[in-house]
């Protein structure tokens, strides 16, 4: 049964262009939590938008023009090793804060952290942002499928166009990780700088993700500094948090420290 008050909040939140493309299930979930706090409708809308900003909006200072990116993509070569295509991927990733921070360590991160498993036979990129555009720098087998998911519908449409353009098997899908995980089983799943964002919505989500993501190996990372560029001891704090999350699990964990990112390659038993 629809709750008219809840649906009104969802509609008002998504009336803003900044939040229109976000997975409606996630908006509804956050709106229900905020509405339950007894706030007035206007205050609830503001609280929901603030939460959505923390999860995703903060990483896009201005809306990304996906139509323009798709038009440019259509004119480019399809080979991943082509310099023109790679330059496009770098320019596009510059528009999203999470991948922009990764650009200086792009080749280093994937070459080092995924080397023990290369060439990868299948990959799932969770809360992917524009990270699938880093495909040219990832050690995937030529026919390895690339699956990705995120909360922005327009972003997902663009990523599917990109995967098709470069003839990569797989697909991108809209998903709300606070509600469910993709069922596709893979060799490696990426959970890059995602746990802190999702914990803004569900503080208990990390153990559930780590235990139930359908992958043999997980590459989990945390930011080494804030979006404003401050370190503030973040790597130390995040490492302590991560080690608490994996305590008592019989997993092999390799640690990688980069200038802007702290990464862990988790190999799970069974």
Question: Taking a C-beta distance cutoff of 8 angstroms, is the pair 45, 13 a contact?
Answer: yes
Six-digit token pair at 148?
Answer: 């990705």
150 is in an annotated binding site: yes
Tell which phi-psi region holds residue 115, choosing left (phi > 0), alpha (psi between -120 and 50) or beta: alpha
123 is in an annotated binding site: no
76 is in an annotated binding site: no
97 is in an annotated binding site: yes
Cβ burial, residue 90 (10 Å; 0-12/13-18/19+): middle
206 is in an annotated binding site: no
192 is in an annotated binding site: yes
- What is the Cα–Cα distance from 133 to 91, expressed in whole angstroms? 10
Residues 6+ apart with CB under 8 A from 148: 124, 125, 126, 128, 131, 132, 156, 159, 170, 171, 172, 173
99 is in an annotated binding site: yes
161 is in an annotated binding site: no
168 is in an annotated binding site: no
183 is in an annotated binding site: no
Q: Which residues are annotated as part of the binding site?
A: 96-102, 127, 150, 176-177, 192
Q: Which residues are annotated as part of the binding site for S-adenosyl-L-methionine?
A: 96-102, 127, 150, 176-177, 192
């Amino acid at each position: 049964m629809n709750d008219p008050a809840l649906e009104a909040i969802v509609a008002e939140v998504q009336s803003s262009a900044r939040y229109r493309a976000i997975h409606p299930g996630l908006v509804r979930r956050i709106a229900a939590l905020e509405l339950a706090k007894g706030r007035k409708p206007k205050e609830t809308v503001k609280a929901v938008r603030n939460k959505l900003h923390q999860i995703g909006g903060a990483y896009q200072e201005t809306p990304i023009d996906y139509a323009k990116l798709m038009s440019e993509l259509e004119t480019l070569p399809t080979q991943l090793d082509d310099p023109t295509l790679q330059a496009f991927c770098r320019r596009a990733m510059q528009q999203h804060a999470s991948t922009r921070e990764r650009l200086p360590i792009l080749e280093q991160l994937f070459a080092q952290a995924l080397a023990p498993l290369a060439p990868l036979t299948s990959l799932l990129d969770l809360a992917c942002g524009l990270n699938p555009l880093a495909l040219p720098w990832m050690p995937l087998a030529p026919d390895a499928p690339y699956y990705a998911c995120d909360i922005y519908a327009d972003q997902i449409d663009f990523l599917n166009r990109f995967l098709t353009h470069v003839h990569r098997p797989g697909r991108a899908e809209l998903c709300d990780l606070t509600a469910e995980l993709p069922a596709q089983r893979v060799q490696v799943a990426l959970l890059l700088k995602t746990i802190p964002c999702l914990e803004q919505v569900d503080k208990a989500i990390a153990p559930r993700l780590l235990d139930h993501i359908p992958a043999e190996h997980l590459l989990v990372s945390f930011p080494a500094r804030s979006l404003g560029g401050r370190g503030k001891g973040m790597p130390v704090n995040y490492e302590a948090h991560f080690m608490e999350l994996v305590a008592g699990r019989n997993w092999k964990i390799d640690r990688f420290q980069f200038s802007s990112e702290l990464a862990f390659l988790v190999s799970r038993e069974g």
